[in-house]
Amino acid sequence: MMKLVVFAACIMATSAIDCRTCFSTETSAANTDLDSLLATFSTADCADAEAEACSSSVYDACVTTTQEFTYGEVTGTLSSYLCGKSDESTSLWDCSSLSSAVVNRTDIVLGDCEDVYCETDGCNSGTVLLISSLLIAFSAFLTL
């Protein structure tokens, strides 16, 4: 019975993924208006963010989105790091979500955007997956 409990715990551990959830920007000039705009998205600055478990087992991938933009005279790149789905169907701030969020803003011009999905812990920032996989293999060996 104990082997079954250990095996179940290992299976559950592999379903959780740790991802960074934050925004970072690189711009051609300092702009406090841009900082206040980004603050409206209520997401942590990457300087303060560490990888943490995604809040739902529905998410099985980390997403890194890189969006080029022009805001007034300032050009830059916005990078968002979040939890997502490996089938690439949902992410809070992927390219399509970012463009939808600013569609009514005439002061922001969006450039190239790229979404990158990965399925290992911390890949957008991974030892939990490796350890869990080893525990599963060990548990399977014990049941033989």
Quote the pLDDT of residue 120. Answer: 84
pTM of the full structure: 0.67
Q: Distance between CA 26 and CA 78 in Å, rounded?
A: 7
DSSP character for 40? T
Name the band, by pLDDT with cuts 50, 70 and 90, for residue 5.
Answer: very low
Q: Distance between CA 142 and CA 136 in Å, rounded?
A: 10
Quote the pLDDT of residue 108. Answer: 87
**Rounded percentage of the chain residues whose pLDDT exceeds 70:** 69
For the cut 50, the answer to whether the pLDDT of residue 126 exceeds it is no
For the cut 50, the answer to whether the pLDDT of residue 98 exceeds it is yes
Quote the pLDDT of residue 128. Answer: 44
- The distance in angstroms from the start CA to the end CA of the chain is 14
Residue-wise DSSP of 57-108: TT--EEEEEEEEEEETTEEEEEEEEEEE-TTS--BTTSHHHHHHHTTT-SSE
Helix (H, G, I), strand (E, B) or coil at 54: coil
Q: Report which residue type is found at 39.
A: A
- Ranked by mean pLDDT, the top range of 50-59, 99-108, 113-122, 132-141 is 113-122
Q: What pLDDT digit, counting tens, does each position of 9-25 carry? A: 444 445 578 888 888 88
76 token code pair? 């830059």
Q: What pLDDT digit, counting tens, does each position of 58-90 carry? A: 888 899 999 999 988 889 998 888 888 888 886
For the cut 70, the answer to whether the pLDDT of residue 142 exceeds it is no
Q: Distance between CA 104 and CA 47 in Å, rounded?
A: 29
Quote the pLDDT of residue 133. Answer: 52
Distance of CA 133 to the CA centre of its chain: 22
Look at the block and give the residue holding tokens 């715990």.
9
Quote the pLDDT of residue 30. Answer: 74
